[in-house]
Amino acid sequence: MTQYSDLRGKNVWLTGGANGIGAAMVRAFHGNGARVFFCDIDATAGDALAAELGPGAIFQKVDLLKEKEIARWFQQGAPPHGVDVLVNNAARDPRIGLEETTGEAWDQLFAGNLRAIFLACREASPWIPSSGGSIINFSSITFHTAPARMSAYVATKGGILAFTRSLARELGPRRIRVNTLSPGWIMTERQLKEFVNPAVKRLIKKSQCVPEPLQPADIADVALFLASDASRAITGQEILADRGWAHS
């Protein structure tokens, strides 16, 4: 794990932190001496991770579909601590064809994947110090590769890219940087269980410039960089962490 001394003592807020990439980021920020406030709907996994890491890892169950719960999360923890870094990681990625996608399913996906990011940014903004901060919004390589049966999901990820670009301009005068982190296909426990079969492994090896599969810790390292002063010149950008897949 990469070490960034300037993250020590920072207050990091992270959504979807109980499993997968989110849990890897919670561990990485905590390992860099940050105080990590993380939320998820999986209370069992979230409580277990907080207990494993001990002081400095604060978990709360939050339903990101509910505006009041997002607001309460920040209202309870932000006033005494502030928000130095916000990582909007939580998302769902269903595989649903166009004709099978109901209007309700479309709205729910946008609420969880895009509206929740807007709400988290809005609620965090007043608590970011005058010295500045970093917001990291997660999109996906799928915006560039456009896989079939994921049109609704890809649309939410395109919206995140647009939201990030505009928000970077709006918050820049306050020294708040806003960037998008777009991972490739990451070998999380869920992906390995549900989607990564021999054909997918061959596709990954063929499509990436560097063939080795990406692990959650690889993405956590990129998030550390975007949160740290090492990336102080970068805002309004998309960082593709995909081992070159979208380049091919």
- pLDDT tens-place string over residues 70-128: 999 999 999 999 999 999 999 999 999 999 999 999 999 999 999 999 999 999 999 99
pTM over 0.95: yes
In Å, how far from its chain's centre is CA 194? 21
Q: What is the pLDDT of residue 200?
A: 93
Mean predicted lDDT score pLDDT of the chain: 96
- For position 184, which CATH number holds? 3.40.50.720
Nearest one of 56, 60, 66 to 17, comparing CA atoms: 60
Tell me the residue range of the domain where 214 lies: 5-247
Instruction: Give 142's contacts (C-beta < 8 A, 6+ positions apart).
Output: 93, 150, 153, 154, 157
Q: What was the pLDDT predicted at 103? A: 97
Q: How far apart are CA 99 and CA 79, in angstroms?
A: 46
Report which of 113, 110, 69 is spatially closest to residue 88, judged by C-alpha positions: 113
Q: Are 185 and 200 in contact (CB under 8 A)?
A: yes
pLDDT at residue 247 in the model: 78
Cα(202)–Cα(89) distance, integer angstroms? 27
**What's the pLDDT tens digit per position in 175-231?**
999 999 999 999 998 999 888 999 999 999 999 999 999 999 999 999 999 999 999
Residue 1 pLDDT: 74
Residue positions annotated with a catalytic role: 153
Residue 248 has pLDDT above 60, yes or no: no
pLDDT of residue 100: 96
Mean pLDDT of all residues in 146-160:
97
Number of domains in the chain: 1
Q: Please say whether the beta carbons of 198 and 151 come within 8 A.
A: no
